[in-house]
Amino acid sequence: MLAAGANFSCREKRGSERSISRVVPPHPPRAPARFRSILAWALGFCTLLTACSVQLIAAYDEYTVRKTADVHELCESLFLAIEKAASTPEREDDLYPKFERTYDQIVVGLRVLEVRAAALERNEITVEQVHGWLESMLKIQDLHRAKSAKSEGFSADAISVLREPIAQQVRSILVLQLALKRGK
């Protein structure tokens, strides 16, 4: 029995025999070559994108963390020494010349840290944070110099007010670096 819609044809074979064979339709049409090449490029591009990652900020820097801790320790030592000197009866104890060397060490440490941070790619945030810390310390130094010129020193209360912004700047640097270490 023949199936409905089937195409058959008769062909003669060599000799006198006839055979009936089914006509097989050609393969389904293939996509145009241009479409296949665009599809191949798109798949390749997607594969490339998934293999690459874009980094918008610098990587974690151990040196920045260590140097920040070192300079912060110098700042805290300075503030503690000024607080102690402010509580003594001698007026000369808390004047600027006694602390000039420590201020210089802090400023040098911050400038070194700033240059190092600026040398790293995509590290603008850390550079700004360190620069803000440096500017704060320079203002504190200038204020201490000005007070000493009038033979005045800092009070213990003034030091506690000056200490907090420095601590906040140090925390912001460390929080950023630790977040970079965790990969966030």
pLDDT per position as a tens digit, 165-180 = 999 999 999 999 999 8
pLDDT above 80 for 46: no
* Mean pLDDT of all residues belonging to the chain: 83
pLDDT above 90 for 163: yes
With a pLDDT cut of 70, the percent of the chain lying above it is 74
* The pLDDT value given to residue 87: 85
Can you give the residue ranges of every domain in the chain?
A: 62-182
120 confidence band (pLDDT: 50, 70, 90): very high
Kindly state the average pLDDT of the residues 154-173.
92
Kindly state the average pLDDT of the residues 46-56.
62
* The pLDDT value given to residue 86: 85
* The pLDDT value given to residue 7: 55
pLDDT above 70 for 2: no
Alpha-carbon distance 64 to 132, whole Å? 15
With a pLDDT cut of 90, the percent of the chain lying above it is 49
* The pLDDT value given to residue 24: 59
* The pLDDT value given to residue 89: 80
Q: Higher pLDDT residue, 4 or 135?
A: 135
Kindly state the average pLDDT of the residues 89-118.
92
52 confidence band (pLDDT: 50, 70, 90): low
